[in-house]
Structure 1
Amino acid sequence: MTYEEYLDEVTTLIVEKYGVSDAVAIKIVVAAQDKEYFVAHDDNRAMRTLDRAHEDARTLFKASAPAGAGAKPAAKRPVRK
């Protein structure tokens, strides 16, 4: 996928997996771009895979506590006592 498609995929995965708004997910990805997180992805097409997008979405969401504040991860099964 192209670099732009990859960024879109990471953004979409953050929305879908962690229940944040599009605006919050975009802020997370833009902040990562500003910190040059995606430079290697731009240079190396082999890094732009769906599996890698899932890893990057998780990494970026976890690193974005202020931007993702109040966001809930995907629902888990309730624990039975």
Structure 2
Amino acid sequence: MSKAASKGALEALHNKLATTLAEALDGLDASEKGTAAILNVARQFLKDNNVEAAPREGQPLGALAEKVAQFPFDPAEDTRAH
């Protein structure tokens, strides 16, 4: 049986993935086919490996948290799944 990747290796992957995705998304058209799938695979990989980060001002995750906060979401009002 193979060993799981070390926490340090996963943290390094997290940083590289975050940087690469941020750079790719800067010039990416949000409607480009496959974008959501790529992001979902990356998100699930990090989740599966318990890689977490706290949003901090001046960091990419902090900037994302600030942007998301501009769009309040009420699941009760979401009619897409109904």
The two structures share one fold, judged by TM-score above 0.5: no
TM-score, normalised by the number of residues in structure 2: 0.27
> Whose Rg is larger?
2
TM-score, normalised by the number of residues in structure 1: 0.27
Structure having greater relative contact order (Cα 8 Å, sep ≥ 6): 1
